[in-house]
Amino acid sequence: MAAEATTTLANRTPVKTKEALDALLADRGGKRYYKELDQLHVDSDAFKKTLHASFKSRLKTWLEICAH
């Protein structure tokens, strides 16, 4: 249970310790993981830029496929 209090599941850090692995595996159904995701700060401007660039690129690819 100590791992549950000190380990954050919603992050980009690879699992490197047994304690972190145990905490991750103990989160059945991802309840704690998704609860942590709800509390994360989202950079709206960066998200908007990424989404716009991705959409623009995919739309361009789709149009090129349809043109041939």
Percent of the chain topping pLDDT 70: 90
Cβ pair 20, 7 in contact under 8 A: yes
Q: 3-state DSSP helix/strand/coil percent for the chain, to nearest 5?
A: 75, 0, 25
pLDDT of residue 56: 86
- Reading the block at residue 13, the tokens are 């850090």
The count of domains in the chain is 1
CA R_g for the chain: 19
Please give the residue range of the domain that contains residue 37. 2-67
Contact yes or no for 40/46 (Cβ under 8 A): no
Q: Which pLDDT does position 20 carry in this prediction?
A: 86
pLDDT of residue 7: 64
Residue 13: its pLDDT value, please? Answer: 83
Whole-angstrom Cα distance, residue 35 to residue 37?
Answer: 5
Segments in the chain below pLDDT 50: 1-5
The per-residue pLDDT for 49 is 92
